[in-house]
Chains A and B, each alone.
Chain A
Amino acid sequence: MYSHGSESLIKQAREIQDSELQKFYSRLVKLLQGKELGYETVDSLQRLHLILSANKYIRTLPPELQKRLQSLLSSPAEPFQVLSSAVLRETLPPAAHSGNYSQENIVQLNSHAVALLLSQAGSRADVSSLCTQLLRGLESRQSEGPTNSLSHTLPILNTILTHNPGCLTEDHVTLLSKKLVDWLRYASILQGGGASSGGFFTGPRSRQPVPIAELDGTVSGDFFTVLCVGQSFTEDQWMNVFSFSALRHWLLTYHSVSNGNADTDDRSEVDGSVVSMVSVTSSCGRLLPPKERLREKSFQYCQRLIEQSDRKAHKKSDADLQKACLVEAVCILDCVCEEDASLVFRAFPCIKALFGRLSSDLSFARVLLPIAQFYLNHGEMAAVDCGSVWALVFGRFPSELFSDPFLAHELLRFLRLNLESLQLRVPQYTHSFPNLLKFLAWDSPAVVDDFVDLLPSLVTAGTAVELLHTLLDLPCLSATLVLQVRSTCLPISEQSGRGLLSLDAFRSPSFRGLFLFLLRGQAGSGDTIDRLSTLHELLVETADWPRVVQCAQIVPVLLHIFFNTVITVADEKLLAHLILVMLERSSLLLNIPKYNKEIHRVFSSHLLRLCKLHPSLVMDQSHELLEFSGATANVYSKEEIYTHVVWVLGEYLSVSCDSRCSVTLITSCFEALEAVLFEITSSVPPPGADCPAPRVVTTLMSALAKLASRSHDLIPRVSLFLSKLRTVTRDGSVAWCSDEEDLVAIVTRGEELWSLLKAPGVAQSVLTPPAHVTTPQWHRDTNVALPLRLRTLTNLTHSH
C-alpha cells in the first residue's frame, strides 16, 4: 500500500534542484502553449502539483506559467480545471488579487475555479464580496443553464456562513429562505426528463413521465425528498438534495436573526396552547413571512422523512441513509421548536412515536441520542415523562455499547453540552458513573478529554468514596470489559491460550460476584468489595493488555481532578474518610508496572493538601496514621506515602492545630516513629528491598524533633539518637545507606536538629511556629508596616 516507491517520489519532489525545476517550468509552458493539450500535459501538471505540495513552504511560479495556469481554469476539459486549481492552490496568489472578488463573472466560473478563489481569499472583504456575487447570480438566474453552476452555490455559501454569518444581509436571507422553500417543498415529483438509457427497443411509452418512488419501491404519494428515488433526476430535485443537506446549518446560523422578530416569539410563548391550534391552519391559509415559511416547510419535510424511514429499503446503503435522515430530521425539528415553541405540540407526538418504535433496538442508538436532546429541551414544556429515555442513555447504552467509538463520542458530547440541564432534570445522573466510566475503561485515549470535563460534575458528597474506589479500579474494569467481550466471542470449551486464567475466573460462578460488582450500572450498592485482593490476583495476567495499560496511565489525571473537586463539596468527616481510603488502597491496587508508584504520588500530594487545609484531620485520623507510620514494611513498599504521612504527623500533631491533642498522643506517636527509625538505621534492608531513601530518614528525624519540641521530656531521647547516629556514621559507610553524599546530608540534618534542640524554647518556635509566623501579613504588624509603606511610597514617586 505505502511503499518505498512513494517515499522516494516525495524525496525527489522535495529535493529537486532549482535549475532542474526551471527547466521543468519552461517545458510545461511550452506544452501549455500548444493547441492540443494531451496526456503529457496532464502528467506534467500532476508532477508539478506533487513538487509544490511536497514542501511546507510556498513557492512562486514564473509569471508566464502562472498566467497560463490561470487561463486553464476555464478549460472545457475537467481534468485541466481540477489540475490548474490544485496547482494554483499551492502557490502564492498574484499581487493584484483582490480585484478577482468583485468581478461580475464569478457566476460563470466552474466549481474548481471558485474553490481556488475561496482558498486564496485574503480577507473577510474578499469572502463577503464572493458571497454577494454568488447570490446575485442566484437571483438573476434563468431557468436554463448548466446544473453545475447552480449546485455548487449552496455548498459554497454554507462554508462561508460557517465562519462569517454576518456577510449575508437581511435581503439575502429572505431571498435564500424563499429559494430553499421552493426547492424543499415544490420540487418535481416526476422522474427526470424522460431520460431512459435510450436504446433500440424503447418505444413512446417509456418516454412518458414516471412518478418518483419510495425506497421500498412503492410509488411516492407526497412531495419529493432525499429518500425518493427515480431513474434520473431533474435539476430542482438535485437542488432538493443540496437544500436539505445545508438546511440544519442554515437554520442554526439564522436562529438569532429570526429572534429579532420579537412580536411573533413573545406571542407564541405566552399563548402557547392557543397558538398551537391556530398555527396548523395558518400554514395553509395566509402566507407566512419567508423565514417562518421556511420553518414550516422544514417541519413538514422532517415529518415526511420520519415517516419514510419506516419503510423497508431494498439496499443497505439506503437503510443507512434512513438512519442519518432520522438524526437530521430530529435535530431540525429540535431547532425549529427552539425558535417557535408552538411547534412543540405538533412535533412531540411524532417524536414520541419514533422513540417508541426505536427504543428497543440498540442498532438505532445513535438516532435515539438526538431524540434524548429533544426530550431534554422540550420535554418539560410538553409535560412528558422522560424516564425511559434516561434509562437508555445512562443504562443500556453505556453497559452494552461501550465499545462503539462513535456512540461513545456522541453520548459524551451530549452530556458535556447539557451538563447543567442534566444535573437538574435527571436525578440518577450522579449515580450513573459506574456505567459512564465503561466508555473510559474501554478506550481511554479517545475519551479521556471528555471525562476531564465531565468528572467534576460526578463528584458529590454522597458518592465520593465509591467514586474514588471506582477510579482506582478502573484498570480492573478495563480488563473485565475485555473479558466480557471475549467471553461472548469464544465458545466455552475452547482453550484460548493467552488470558486463560482470567477468562476462566470470569466465567466461574464462585467469582461471578466480584466481576458483577465492577460491571454494575448504578452507584449506591456499596463502596467496594471485600475480596478486592482476590480480584486483583485473578486479573494479574491482564496487566500488560493494551487497554489496561492505557487506562492505568490516565487514572492519576482523573484522581487529581477528583481531589481538586472533592475539597469543594466535602465536609471534614468525608475528607477524613478519604484519607482512610488512601491509606487502605495504597497497598490494594492492581499490579501494573509504574501504576502503584504513580497512584502513591497522587495520594501523597493530596494528603498533604488536605491536611494543610484542615490540620485537625490529622487528629481525626491519628489512630490510622499512627498505625501506618508504625509499620516498618511501609518504609520500603510505600516510600512516597510513608514520607508524607510522617511529615503530616510531625507538622500537625500539636495543640495549636487541634486542642484535642494530648501529651499522651504525642508521646505514643513519638515512640512509634522512633522505633521505625531505629530499625531502619540499624540493620540491612530486607531481601529484595532497596535502602530507604535519605528523605525518609530525614523526615523521620525532623518529625521526631518537632514532636519533641512540643513535649520537652522527649528531647533527651532524640538528642541521644542523633549523637549516636553521628558516632556510627563517622566510621564511613553503613548498611542502610549506599551513597556517601546522602549519608553526609542525613548526618548534617541530624546535627542541625541536635543543636536546635539544645535550646528547647527556640526549637519550639522554629519547629512549631505559631500561625502568625507561617501566614505573615506584615502590613498589619505595627512595627513592620512602617518601613513597608515608606518603601512603597518611594517606589511610586520614583516611577514618575
Chain B
Amino acid sequence: MVRCFLIHTVCPVSALGSGESRMLYCRVFGPDESLFTDQEREFSPEERRVLQREQTAVVARQVRSAASFSRAAAGRLLMEALPGEEALALQEADSGVLRLRAGDPFTEEMSALWLGVQSLGFTLVCEPHENLLLAEGTLRTLTRHCLEHLHLLGPGSEVLLRSDRIDALLSRLLPHGQLLFLNHRFAHSLEKEVAAYMTK
C-alpha cells in the first residue's frame, strides 16, 4: 500500500534554509499509523496532524538531498521544458528510491520513490515489500497527469489552489493508496473520468 503521495520543491527556496523543501501537496492514505502502535498515551488529533506533517517534511528533505546529488553527479544542465513538452520533461526527470528505516520517520520501514522534474519532486512512500515496478509506473503516470492538468510547466501556482484535481486523480489511479494493475484500456477509461473532472 502507498502511505503517502507528496509534491514538494527540490530547488532552493529563498524563504527557507538550504536543504529545506516546501511542501505543495501532501496526501496521506489510510488511518493514522499512530493508532496502531503501542504508545504510552493516545495522541490527540492535533498532535497526530503535527506528527504527520513533520514526518512528511522529513521525507521531502531527504528526497531533495537525493535529487540534488543525482543532478550534481549527472552533471547535466537543467533544461527548462515549455508547456506542451510534458512527455519530454518526464523523460529528462531524475528518479530514485530511498530506504526509510523503521522509526525514521515512519514507525515501520518504508521505501520512498521519487521523480524530480525541474524544480518539483513527486514522491510516493510505500511499504518496502510493495511491487516497486508497479509503483514506479504509477508514479510516472501520476506525475504526467499532474504536469498536464495543473499546467506545472508554466509559472502557475495551480498545484496550491487546484489540489482537488490531484485528489480526484488519486481517487481513480491510486484509490486509498492501492496500486492498481491497469492495462492501457483500463487506464484509458479512468483517464477519461479524470479528464471529465478537470473540465468541471
**What separation, in Å, do the CA atoms of A327 and B113 have in the docked complex?**
18
Interface residues of B in 125-150 (CB under 8 A from A): 127-129, 131-134, 136-137
Interchain nearest-CB distance for B45 vs A (Å): 5
Interface residues of A in 1-16 (CB under 8 A from B): 1-3, 5-7, 9-11
Interface of A is mostly: helix
Q: Which residues of A contact B127 (CB under 8 A)?
A: 162
**A328 within 8 Å of B (CB atoms):** yes
Partner of A118, one of B31, B49, B95: B31
Q: Which residues of B contact A57 (CB under 8 A)?
A: 46, 49-50
**A672 within 8 Å of B (CB atoms):** no
Interface of B is mostly: mixed
Q: Which residues of B contact A49 (CB under 8 A)?
A: 163-164
Residue among B97, B101, B189 facing the most chain A CB atoms (10 A cut-off): B97
**A613 within 8 Å of B (CB atoms):** no
**A283 within 8 Å of B (CB atoms):** no
**A543 within 8 Å of B (CB atoms):** no
**What separation, in Å, do the CA atoms of A86 and B164 have in the docked complex?**
7
**What separation, in Å, do the CA atoms of A9 and B161 have in the docked complex?**
9
Q: Is the CB of A249 within 8 A of B1?
A: yes
**What separation, in Å, do the CA atoms of A325 and B134 have in the docked complex?**
8
Q: Is the CB of A124 within 8 A of B35?
A: yes
**A397 within 8 Å of B (CB atoms):** no
Q: Is the CB of B181 within 8 A of A328?
A: yes
**A602 within 8 Å of B (CB atoms):** no
**What separation, in Å, do the CA atoms of A405 and B70 have in the docked complex?**
10
**A423 within 8 Å of B (CB atoms):** no
**B153 within 8 Å of A (CB atoms):** yes
Interchain nearest-CB distance for A757 vs B (Å): 54
Number of A residues with CB within 8 Å of any CB on chain B: 95
Q: Which residues of A contact B41 (CB under 8 A)?
A: none
Partner of A233, one of B15, B119, B168, B185: B185
Partner of A122, one of B45, B111, B161, B189: B45
Q: Is the CB of A119 within 8 A of B101?
A: no
Q: Which residues of B contact A122 (CB under 8 A)?
A: 35, 45
Interface residues of B in 15-72 (CB under 8 A from A): 15, 22, 24, 26, 28-33, 35-36, 42, 45-46, 49-50, 53-54, 65-66, 69-70, 72
Q: Is the CB of B157 within 8 A of A162?
A: no
A320 in contact with B137 given A121-B32, A446-B97 (CB within 8 Å):
yes
**What separation, in Å, do the CA atoms of A320 and B131 have in the docked complex?**
13
**What separation, in Å, do the CA atoms of A768 and B200 have in the docked complex?**
88
Q: Which residues of B contact A227 (CB under 8 A)?
A: 183
**B155 within 8 Å of A (CB atoms):** yes
* A229 and chain B: residue at smallest CB distance: B185
Please encode chain A, from 209 to 228, with 1 for each CB lying within 8 Å of some chain B CB and 0 for all others: 00000010000000000111
**What separation, in Å, do the CA atoms of A447 and B179 have in the docked complex?**
25
Q: Which residues of B contact A124 (CB under 8 A)?
A: 35-36
Partner of A327, one of B11, B131, B178, B200: B131
Interchain nearest-CB distance for B117 vs A (Å): 8
Interchain nearest-CB distance for B41 vs A (Å): 13
* A39 and chain B: residue at smallest CB distance: B200
Partner of A1, one of B46, B119, B168, B200: B119
**What separation, in Å, do the CA atoms of A378 and B90 have in the docked complex?**
40
Q: Which residues of A contact B15 (CB under 8 A)?
A: 7, 11
A229 in contact with B183 given A1-B153, A159-B1 (CB within 8 Å):
yes
Q: Which residues of B contact A242 (CB under 8 A)?
A: 178, 180
Q: Which residues of B contact A151 (CB under 8 A)?
A: 175
Q: Is the CB of A3 within 8 A of B180?
A: no
Residue among B127, B168, B183, B200 facing the most chain A CB atoms (10 A cut-off): B183
Q: Is the CB of B120 within 8 A of A6?
A: no
Q: Is the CB of A7 within 8 A of B13?
A: yes
Q: Which of the segments A74-82, A343-351, A381-389, A782-790 contacts the partner chain?
A: A74-82
**A317 within 8 Å of B (CB atoms):** yes
**B187 within 8 Å of A (CB atoms):** yes
* A445 and chain B: residue at smallest CB distance: B69
**A772 within 8 Å of B (CB atoms):** no
Partner of A56, one of B53, B118, B176: B53
Q: Which residues of A contact B101 (CB under 8 A)?
A: 449
Q: Is the CB of B181 within 8 A of A241?
A: yes
Q: Is the CB of A1 within 8 A of B134?
A: no
Q: Is the CB of A215 within 8 A of B95?
A: no
Q: Which residues of A contact B95 (CB under 8 A)?
A: 405-406
**B73 within 8 Å of A (CB atoms):** yes
**A291 within 8 Å of B (CB atoms):** no
Q: Which residues of B contact A56 (CB under 8 A)?
A: 49-50, 53-54
Interface residues of A in 707-721 (CB under 8 A from B): none
Residue among B137, B155, B184 facing the most chain A CB atoms (10 A cut-off): B184
Partner of A10, one of B22, B33, B176, B200: B22
Please encode chain A, from 85 to 98, with 1 for each CB lying within 8 Å of some chain B CB and 0 for all others: 11000001100000
**A123 within 8 Å of B (CB atoms):** yes
Interchain nearest-CB distance for B28 vs A (Å): 7
Q: Is the CB of B118 within 8 A of A446?
A: no
**What separation, in Å, do the CA atoms of A413 and B96 have in the docked complex?**
15
Q: Is the CB of B99 within 8 A of A93?
A: no
**What separation, in Å, do the CA atoms of A325 and B181 have in the docked complex?**
8
**What separation, in Å, do the CA atoms of A443 and B113 have in the docked complex?**
15
**B182 within 8 Å of A (CB atoms):** yes
Q: Is the CB of A405 within 8 A of B97?
A: yes
**B195 within 8 Å of A (CB atoms):** no
**What separation, in Å, do the CA atoms of A2 and B153 have in the docked complex?**
9
**What separation, in Å, do the CA atoms of A463 and B180 have in the docked complex?**
46
* Chain A interface (Cβ < 8 Å from any Cβ of B): 1-3, 5-7, 9-11, 45-47, 49-50, 53, 56-58, 77-79, 82-83, 85-86, 92-93, 111-112, 115, 118-124, 127, 151-152, 154-156, 158-160, 162-164, 215, 226-233, 238, 241-242, 244-246, 248-249, 252, 315, 317-318, 320-321, 323-325, 327-328, 331, 366-367, 405-406, 409-410, 413, 443, 445-447, 449-450, 545-547, 550
Q: 6 closest A-B pairs (Cβ-Cβ)?
A: A155-B178, A159-B30, A6-B157, A155-B176, A324-B134, A226-B181
* Chain B interface (Cβ < 8 Å from any Cβ of A): 1, 9, 11, 13-15, 22, 24, 26, 28-33, 35-36, 42, 45-46, 49-50, 53-54, 65-66, 69-70, 72-73, 95-99, 101, 111, 113, 117-120, 127-129, 131-134, 136-137, 152-153, 155-157, 159-164, 167-168, 171, 175-187, 189, 197, 200
Interface CB pairs A-B, < 8 A, 18: A7-B13, A11-B15, A53-B26, A56-B50, A79-B164, A118-B176, A163-B31, A230-B185, A241-B186, A252-B129, A317-B187, A320-B137, A366-B133, A406-B133, A413-B128, A446-B97, A449-B101, A546-B69
Given contacts A2-B13, A120-B45, A121-B32, 19 further A-B contacts (CB under 8 A): A2-B9, A46-B164, A58-B46, A78-B168, A86-B164, A119-B31, A123-B42, A158-B176, A162-B1, A226-B186, A229-B184, A230-B185, A241-B181, A242-B178, A317-B184, A324-B181, A331-B131, A367-B133, A406-B132
